[in-house]
Amino acid sequence: MTGLLRSGAPLPASVRAEAGKRGLPRVVVSTATATAESYLQGAHVTAWAPAGQVDVIWMSEKSAFAPGAPIRGGVPVCFPWFGPLPWGNAPLHGFARVSDWTLAEVTEQGDEVALVFTLSDSEETRASAWPHPFDARYTVTVGAGLTLALEVTNTGAEPITFAEAFHTYLGVGDVRDVSITGLEQAPYVDRLVSPEWLEPTGEPLTITAETDRVYAQPGTIAVVDRAGARTLTITAQGSANAVVWNPWIAKAAAMGDFGDDEWTQMVCIETCNVLDAAVTLAPGERHAMVATISVSATE
């Protein structure tokens, strides 16, 4: 596959463009420190593994990989809204994750490769439930860690407000044997119960049932995966929230693009600005949200 990079410049030897599943275009990175892949639909990261590690990014075997349909697993980019909207032709979690992004730049420095994807307002996005001018620049830096950076600029003449999230699916050995730290002192909303903010628990989080929580003021989050003998650490900047999600048994079985037993293999730790932390930008202003995932051995 040629011509994938907007400028037409050749790709570094560590990067190749090819047709992925169901013919959707993707970019594959392979360096001495890591491998990764990302689809242009949704600028969707679908794999990242540091050298010597099994994949950190979880994907469902049931994912459709169909044009215009969400990819199940990986790192969906949720923008400019999060969750459902009660009006208009509004896909869940916004249009960014089902839009075709442009691969604008690829740079290589040492053992790291940065892929830069861009998305701007179009006739289609302006006809959606969020009809505003914007530029989005999404940089995926692949190395021994994985860094995701989404920069949104208001290119219009009026203020804009949006929600955003990296809906990151992390692979674990067994979610029932996972402990999540860094949220002990964070207030949270249990979206399965009510929209009210609850007091911090003071304890590490374990997954024992369907889980869908929005946390405020999170710190560095660590997913201690005892069955997988590793710890996945997520640090963030420009993010006021974190979401923890696992569908558990009944919801997984009810989802057509999610295997009945796959819920044991994943947990979503989402870096985001949602609910009352949605971002408002004046004309010409920009906002950046950054998340970095790293891997270490569990002691």
Residues of the chain falling short of pLDDT 70: 1-3, 5-7, 86, 88-89, 299
Any idea of the CA torsion for 89, 92, 93, 97, to the nearest 10 degrees?
-80
226: helix, coil or strand? coil
Do 46 and 58 contact (CB within 8 A), yes or no?
Answer: no
Which amino acids are annotated catalytic?
A: 167, 270
pTM reported for the whole predicted model:
0.96
- Considering the four listed CATH numbers 3.40.190.10, 2.70.98.10, 1.25.40.10, 3.10.180.10, the one that applies to the domain covering 15-172+241-294 is 2.70.98.10
pLDDT at residue 90 in the model: 82
Task: Write down the domain spans for the chain.
Answer: 15-172+241-294
**Backbone conformation region of residue 275, classed left if phi is above 0, alpha if psi is from -120 to 50, else beta:** left
136: helix, coil or strand? strand
Nearest partner of 164 among 42, 81, 98, judged by Cα: 81
Q: Residue 249: count other Cβ atoms within 10 Å of its Cβ.
A: 13
Query: Cβ contacts of residue 5 below 8 Å, gap of 6+?
Result: 11, 17, 103, 104, 105, 106
pLDDT at residue 88 in the model: 66
Report the distance separating Cα 111 and Cα 108, nearest Å: 7
pLDDT at residue 10 in the model: 85
Q: Are strands 15-19 and 160-162 parallel, antiparallel or unpaired?
A: unpaired
pLDDT at residue 269 in the model: 98
The DSSP annotation for 43-105 comes to TEEEEEEETTS--SB-B-TT----TTS--SBSB-EE-S--S--SSSS--TT-SGGGSBPEEEE
